[in-house]
Structure formats: C-alpha cells, structure tokens
Amino acid sequence: MAIATVNPATGGLVKSFEAIAPPVWLGKVEGAAAAFEIYRRTTFEQRAAWLHRAAEILERDRDRLAALATLEMGKPLAAAIAEVEKCALVCRFYGDRAAAFLADEVIETDAGSSYVTHQPLGAILAVMPWNFPFWQVFRFAAPALMAGNVALLKHASNVPQVALAIEAVWAEAGLPEGVFQTLLVGADQVAAIAADPRIKAATLTGSEPAGASLGAACGAALKKVVLELGGSDPFIVTETADLAAAVRTAVVGRLLNNGQSCIAAKRFILLEAIADEFLDRLTAAFAAVRVGDPMDPAVDLGPLATAAIADELDQQVRGAIAAGAKAIIGGDRAALVAQLPEPLRGGSFYPATILTDIPEGCAARQAEFFGPVALTFRVPDFDAAIALANDIPFGLGASCWTQNPAEMHRAIADLEAGSVFINGLVKSDPRLPFGGIKRSGYGRELSRQGIQEFVNIKTVWIA
C-alpha cells in the first residue's frame, strides 16, 4: 500500500511519500535506544511539563490538525476537532497522575523493607490505525512517555501527514531528540522492526489479521504486546428503556466517525415489545442524516476512509441481502453517489443503512461492518438478548438500555466484553481502562492499568 494522502471525499491524490528504507529505520531505532538511556532518568515533573506543553500546542493548533485528519480519512470536521481536544485531555490526565499511578508500593513481608517499583521498558513500537488518527496515538503515547519509555510510531499508510504532525507536536513540546519518532514504513516492515532487540514491546490498534501478525512477531521474540482489535458491539434495548434516549444514542453510536469505530454500536438487539417503535424512530433519524463534504460543518456523514473500505462494506451489505436480509433504509451506494455534487462522486461514500431480518447462518451475524450500517435483531426476552449479544467472536464493548435493576446486574455479569455501559454510549475515557477480550484483543489502555502495561513491575526485597 502506498504511503499517501488521498482525499476520500473526492478520491484525488493529494500528496505521496517515499517509504524509508531499512537502513533509515534501523538508525531511528538506534536513536530511540540511545535516547531512552537519557530519558529514563528524567523526573515525572520534567515529563509532565512536556505533556502539558503538548496539550497547549494541540489546543492552539486544533483547527489545523483537525483539518488534516478530515482531509486524510474523511471524518466530519467537528468530530476531528473533538478528537484533537481529547488528545490534549489525555496528555494532561497522565501529566497530572502518572507519578501517583507508578508510585512505589510498600508491602509488609519478612524483609527489613520490601516494595514494588515501576520502571520503564525502553523503546515501544506503536502500530496505529487511521480511524482516530490523533487519539489512538496520544492515548498510547501519553502514558508510555510519562512512564519513561520512548516511542516509535508506525501509523496507517493513508494518514502520513497526521503522523508527521504528531511527531512535530512532541518535538515542539520539548521532548529530547529520539524520544518520539514517526516511521514512514509499509506494513511489510513491521515484523522486522518488532523483532529488533532494541524494541522492548509493541502495541497495535487495528484489524484481526494485523493483530495476529504483530502478536506472532512479538511472540517469536518473547516481547510484550497489547492489542486492541475489531468489535461488533451489541446495543440491547428492553421494554423499560428510555426509548428516545436509546434512539438518540444509537444514531451517534452507529454513525460516529462515519461508522468507522471499533467500539461503535453495530448490532442492535431489540426486545419484541419495542422493536417496531425503535426501528421506526431509528429509520427516521437515519433518513435525516446529511451526507457530503466532511469539511462542511452542516454534514453529519462523510466518506469512508478509502475506496477499498467502501467496496468491502458494499459487498458485505449485498451479501447479507442476497442471503435474505432486508435494507429498510440505505443499502444502495449508487443511488447515494448519484445525488452527490459532481466533485464528490469519486469519493468513498456509503449511505446510512439499516438491515433487518438477517437470517441464521448469514455471515453478517458474525462479521464486523466498518461503516454506517446498523444490523438489527428481534428477540423474545432478555435471556435471548444476552445469548445473541455473546454469540460473536468479538468482545470489545457492550451497551444495555433498561431501567430494571436485575437486568442491569445481569448485563454487567454476563455480557462478554471489555466494557459494559448501562443506558449510555460506549466510549473511551482516560479515567477508565479500555480494551477487549476474545478476538477483540488483550491488554488495557488508559487509566492506571494502561500506564502499567509498559513498565517493569519490579519486586524489591531488602534484608
């Protein structure tokens, strides 16, 4: 895959980049290892000052940086602005709390003194996706850098300008040379970089195949890896739900980021008693969605990030319909494109779509749809809702809408996911650990648990 900015709203090539050759990235890895020997001895106070400065730069340059994300991957500009602001938030969060999260823990034993201390590992390789091109990087970098590690970023090949802009933010913030570096390399170089003995651990957010590949490379080298992979999150709606709130959240949960979020609500599991009303309201809301140029503040739904992603989603929807599913709105990509202004007809747009009557055995029941497509299911009772929610290879997030305390406790106890949100939108929050189970990956990001993923939790015993 070429390393290039291709405007997904038009399909036009904006700028191409030459991938760096192995001798170049080897030099950057060497620079990271050398920088670590100095950076690891800096204080929490020094690191916090750099993170707070990065937050200030992000806020100062918010509009310019957001426009880069919209240009390269197509999210509506307002969403891109919110993403950059969230990056500033996570920098301040860890700048203020890392020292407490990693403080020595005194343990009473038979020793004269015994405690647990936390020390950085070294150079961490981060393989990051295009869908939240700023947030995914900063939610890794803020805790990793505060812990005293150094970072090498291999970003998605369709967001090279964002990748370079992130490196520039850290440089302006004052990080020492070599502490944060962007590697403009193709995916074919990742395994070799991960295998380099100077790389001490890795993290990846992305697809299952990408996660399996990096996991295998790190496993062969006996290195720690954290993986956040795909999801097909359930959104259960019961008879006691606040239906108006549930529908509002369903629209946001499914269409946020043009539907391209691992933790988006993707499978809407509706108890029979409220299914008709919920679907009527959801259909009306989808019909009101404004599709077009993501730079236009009035637009709700922009293009998918690449033509290949739009093609794959279209094939998934067509396959589901051929198997017996029904599209009660959307599902006709050609009709949408015909309605767009001429300059946008080469873009990778896809309409807001709702599928119903998805039959048993259909591939759509087990797959992730990475775009603005809602899969809807009717179930007779709460037991059936939980069973269907768990009948999936993924386990990232889950949302349950009910006013029944027993159902709330049941959802929390029985839903197979890394997070369960009751009567709310599944989202990441620096204060809470984030990650999945099953084929959605392993390890955690954010909160105290996230910063402790890439440290040596060292036992100290003194006679």
Return the exposure string of 387-406: e unless at least 16 CB atoms fall within 10 Å of the residue's CB, then b. ebbeebebbbbbbbbbeeee
Distance from C-alpha of 375 to C-alpha of 459, rounded to nearest angstrom: 49
Helix then strand then coil, % of the chain, to nearest 5: 45, 20, 35
Tokens representing 401 are: 């809408």
Distance from C-alpha of 397 to C-alpha of 413, rounded to nearest angstrom: 13
Query: DSSP string of 205-245?
Result: ES-HHHHHHHHHHHHHTT-EEEEE----EEEEE-TTS-HHH
Beta carbons of 115 and 106 less than 8 angstroms apart: yes
Phi, psi angle pair for 157, to nearest 5°: -70, -15
Beta carbons of 451 and 143 less than 8 angstroms apart: yes
Task: Tell how far CA 47 is from the center of its chain.
Answer: 25
Pairing of strands 265-271, 397-401: unpaired
- Residue 294's SS3 state is coil
Is position 262 annotated as part of the catalytic site? yes
Among the listed residues 72, 83, 228, 416, the single catalytic one is 228
Is position 87 annotated as part of the catalytic site? no
Among the listed residues 87, 91, 218, 262, the single catalytic one is 262
Distance from C-alpha of 239 to C-alpha of 231, rounded to nearest angstrom: 26
CA-nearest of 172, 228, 174 to 204 is 228
**Catalytic residue numbers?**
228, 262
